[in-house]
Amino acid sequence: MTGTILPKEVADLARRVVEENAAAGRKVVLAESCTGGLVAAALTEVPGSSAVLDRGFVTYSNESKMEMLDVQPDIIEALGAVSVACVWAMAQGALKHSEGDVAVAVSGVAGPDGGSDLKPVGTVVFAKAVRGEEEPEAEMKLFDSNDRAEVRRQATICALELLLP
């Protein structure tokens, strides 16, 4: 892909996501926290992405997760924003507030600060929700890097991979 501000690996994957979801007739929606809109930005670099990307929610604060995506306060209070329960609720909320067929949510500790013994820097949680399916798909990953940009790049790639049909 020419004329992109993204690393080649991200740009190529975003192109695949757009092409394959367009072929499948699927609309996607994103709920992003630590990636700050990078996944949506990657998709919009691709010509024709308007046929696939319905919308993206950048819910960086806990309040925005609750207000925009209906994440229950007790989830954040008990388990934190970087938890499987939180990203699953984010993905479900993104579907509820969109026309998307599939939603991917991402939340994590990009660093260099904010980590803990339980959730060190590089901890990122992902969830995928498909409209009409009850079974959640979620996972927690630990990206081995103290480089904020690298954690966010790896999280963007993982989120894009989850959007492939």
For residue range 60-94, list pLDDT tens digits in order.
999 999 999 999 999 999 999 999 999 999 999 99
DSSP 128: E
**Token pair of 154 as six digits:** 């790896």
Q: Tell me, what amino acid is at 115? A: G
Q: How far apart are the two ends of the chain, measured CA to CA in Å?
A: 21
* pLDDT at residue 135, as a whole number: 83
Regions in the chain scoring below 50 on pLDDT: 1
**Token pair of 91 as six digits:** 């993905």
- Whole-model pTM? 0.95
Task: Give the Cα separation of 123 and 71 in Å (integer).
Answer: 20
* pLDDT at residue 2, as a whole number: 61
**Token pair of 87 as six digits:** 């990203």
* pLDDT at residue 163, as a whole number: 98
